[in-house]
Amino acid sequence: VSHYLKQIEAKKHIHAFLEVFEAEAIQKAQEIDAKIKNNTAGKLAGMVIGIKDNLAYKNHKVSAASKILEGFESIYTATAVERLIQEDAIIIGRLNCDEFAMGSSNENSAFGNVLNPIQEDKVPGGSSGGSAAALAAGLCTASIGSDTGGSIRQPASFTGLIGFKPTYGTISRYGLLAYASSFDQIGPFTNTIKDAALITAVMAGKDEYDGTAIQEDINEFPIEKIEKGSLKVGYISDCLESKGLNPEIKTKLEQTIQVLKKEGHTVEPVSFPYLDAMVPTYYVLTTAEASSNLSRYTGVHFGRLADNVKGVEETYKKSRSEGFGEEVKKRIMLGTFVLSHGYYDAYYTKGQKVRRIIQNKTNELLSEYDVLLLPTTPDTAFKIGGVKDAIQMYLQDIFTVQANLAGNPAISLPMGTHSNGLPFGLQLIGKHQKESELLSISAYLM
Ligand code: GLN
């Protein structure tokens, strides 16, 4: 803990942390040292973990990087965080992110952006940019993020880490501040597959506080050895051929395909002809859910109440106008529009239908292949302030939203360094609730 506290202080300028639980973490470490001596320590003893600031932790602030939650302290702990603590992980602090997890660059945080520790003039990705930057800069052993449309995998790709989004429902969402409830999933950033498997298994499993969580208890995700010639991998040719893909990322993917073939595995191109529908479907459905989820922030129940307001309408209006940032407001308006009477069928219902087609096609492919292989991101990390156009920013998610729309587990694996000096990842999408299989294949690939 003291090592990490020193590093955090030294790397303060990257702005990964919104708050460091210094005294508390040191005290915890002493308690755990004693447990280790008595042989009573939990599975995560020795791990120092940072949590994205959209996870509730009792008696600690949680802001979702928004002004609207100013001053708010959580009165309970998210199931995922509770389980980490139960196994003696030390929670070192709250990590910066895009406001309410909306963004791809961490430039939407109300408390300022995060620098990519690999090249500090670049974004770390988003929305879990603080989680990625903290681990990449060596400020913790692992970190926790949330992934609604790529927010773990994309920043992992931009910072050279493993970023894992389990199957929807594997980890309870209780205590995760909701963005789009039917998409949101908690997951870890780690340096090794072993850590990803361990931490995810600790957080996973049934939870009476989340009805959408899986119904079984989970103890571990065993990593099996992959035999030569045993895998069936489908690479999504539409992604490899897509115009926006950086040529060096494409080459690396092609090389990986060749290596797998040489090792006797079956590696075949598959077609997923819905790439153009991906981002629009994702943004219609997630903004709809966001507009509903964020209606609870009125200034009255949580966080910051506007000054000098009279009556309900003025209270809500002023608190929300002052409390929410640009991007969040835009999404609430978009979502309210797609859900509004007269437009609901044209947008929301249509979006749900397209989501079903994407789900069916993904599962159909995965009935023939063990995993799907595709890029994580079209490019490496971009310059801070470099992407000004909203559509351009939304297109960052083109390869990551499929797994959220379909609910499948997906992982970004660090696969090399571009000639520009920046890392990038490859993505694997696995079968529903087959995290062990996906992690085993990941370990083989790394
Ligand atoms: N970049 C996507 C968005 O802005 C993904 C966010 C996320 O996964 N939380 O919605």
- 374 contacts 401 by C-beta, under 8 angstroms: no
**What is the pLDDT at residue 180?**
98
Q: Which of 98, 146, 148, 291 to mutate to test the pocket of ligand 1 (most atoms within 8 A of CB)?
A: 148
To 10 degrees, what angle do helices 22-37 and 2-10 make? 150
Ligand 1 atom with the shortest distance to the CA of 327:
4
Type of residue numbered 202 = V
Index of the ligand 1 atom closest to the CA of residue 126: 1
Using the structure block, give the residue that is written with the tokens 């003696």. Answer: 88
Low-confidence ranges of the chain (pLDDT < 50): none
* Local structure of 353: helix, strand or coil: helix
Does residue 205 contact residue 221 with C-beta atoms inside 8 Å?
no
- For residue 198, the CA-to-ligand 1 centroid distance in Å is 25
Pick the CATH number of 1-446 from 3.40.50.300, 2.40.160.40, 3.40.50.880, 3.90.1300.10: 3.90.1300.10
Q: How far is 186 from 204, CA to CA, in rounded Å?
A: 9
Can you give the residue ranges of every domain in the chain? 1-446
How many whole angstroms separate alpha carbon 170 and alpha carbon 388? 35
| Catalytic residue check, 52 | yes
Nearest to 160 by CA among 8, 376, 373: 376
Q: Residue 433 corresponds to which tokens in the numbers above? A: 């609730």
d(CA 127, CA 155): 8
The total number of residues shown for the chain amounts to 446
How far is ligand 1, taken at its centre, from the CA of residue 65, in Å? 14
CB neighbours (10 Å) of residue 275? 15
Q: What is the DSSP letter of 296?
A: G
| Among protein residues, the one whose CA lies closest to atom 4 of ligand 1 | 103
Which pLDDT score, from 0 to 100, does residue 303 have? 87
Ligand 1 centre from 365 Cα, in Å? 25
- Calculate how far, in angstroms, residue 402's C-alpha sits from the geometric centre of ligand 1: 12
Q: Are 144 and 400 in contact (CB under 8 A)?
A: no
With left for phi above 0 and alpha for psi between -120 and 50, is residue 291 left, alpha or beta?
A: alpha
- Tell me which residues have their CB closer than 6 angstroms to ligand 1: 101-104, 127, 147-151, 179, 286, 397
Cα torsion 109, 110, 115, 121 to 10°: value is 100
Report which protein residue has its CA nearest ligand 1's atom 10: 102
Burial category of 178 from C-beta neighbours within 10 Å (exposed 0-12, middle 13-18, buried 19 and up) = buried
Test site for ligand 1: of 104, 147, 179, 186, most ligand atoms within 8 A of the Cβ: 104
Catalytic residue among 151, 182, 319, 412: 151
- Asked if 353 is an active-site residue, the reply is no
**96 CA to middle of ligand 1, Å?**
14
DSSP character for 44? T
Residue 177, token pair as written in the block: 């501040």
Q: Phi/psi of residue 296, each to 5°?
A: -75, -15
Q: Does 127 qualify as catalytic in the annotation?
A: yes
- Using one digit for the tens of pLDDT, what is the confidence trace for 395-406? 899 999 999 999
Residue of 78, 62, 67, 75 lying closest to 21 (CA atoms):
62
Any idea what DSSP says for residue 383? Answer: B
Q: Are 345 and 353 in contact (CB under 8 A)?
A: no
Instruction: Find residue 413's DSSP bridge partners.
Output: 426
Mutate to test the pocket of ligand 1, among 127, 157, 396, 412 (most ligand atoms within 8 A of CB): 127
Ligand 1 centre distance from Cα of residue 140 (Å) = 23
Q: Is 436 exposed, middle or buried (0-12, 13-18, 19+ CB in 10 A)?
A: middle
pLDDT value at residue 301: 87
Q: Using the atom order of ligand 1, give the atom closest to the CA of residue 283.
A: 10
User: 392: which 2 tokens?
Assistant: 């351009």
Task: Give SS3 for 66.
Answer: coil
CA–CA dist 119, 116 (Å, integer): 6
Give the ligand 1 atom nearest the CA of 154.
1
Q: Give 251's Cβ-side CA count (13 Å radius).
A: 7
Residue 372 has what DSSP assignment? E
Quick one: pLDDT at residue 302?
Answer: 87
pLDDT digits (tens, 9 = 90+) for 249-288: 999 999 999 999 999 999 999 999 999 999 999 999 999 9
Query: Which pair of tokens denotes residue 384?
Result: 């801070």
Q: What is the pTM of this model?
A: 0.97
Using DSSP's 3-state secondary structure scheme, residue 185 falls into coil
